[in-house]
Amino acid sequence: MDKGRSVMERVAAGMPRWPAYVMLAAAAACAYPAVTTPPVAETYRARGQEPGWVLLIADGKLDYAGDYGAVRITVPRPHPRTTFNGRRYETRRLTVDVTHSRCNDAMSGHGYPDTVTVTADGKTFRGCGGERRPDWDM
């Protein structure tokens, strides 16, 4: 036994010597919360142009009105699947992709926080969604 060494010296001698950057990385990972996508809003609106369409996600439903209201699709809201920088709602007739990236409406120039792609009965349309951001208007 090492009679000339203290208890701390003996414990330290038996521990692995990790590089400082590994220890700092491990400590930093504990200091910040995990990155998550924003929570799903209770009511979410999206819109697009040419032809005009509107999507409302509320009350447990996806309610789509396309081609200036000539096409109507209302389906139960599925649980959204997390995608790269957004979420996806997928049903047999309607698929909605919400991507968290700045969007400006093609006709009005109004700014919104999300780019939205809707595929309704096999036809795809693009537009903007979320709460309007007047500071992003063009």
Pairing of strands 94-99, 103-104: unpaired
The contacts of residue 35 (CB under 8 Å, 6+ apart) are: none
- Quote the CA–CA distance of 9 and 17 in Å, as a whole number: 13
Phi, psi of 25 (to 5 degrees): -65, -40
In the three-class reduction of DSSP (H, G, I as helix; E, B as strand; rest coil), residue 122 is classed as coil
Give the pLDDT score at 42: 76
Local confidence pLDDT in tens for the 138 residues of the chain? 556 677 666 655 665 665 666 556 666 666 545 545 555 557 999 999 989 999 999 999 999 999 998 999 999 999 999 998 999 999 999 999 999 999 999 899 999 999 999 999 999 999 999 999 999 999
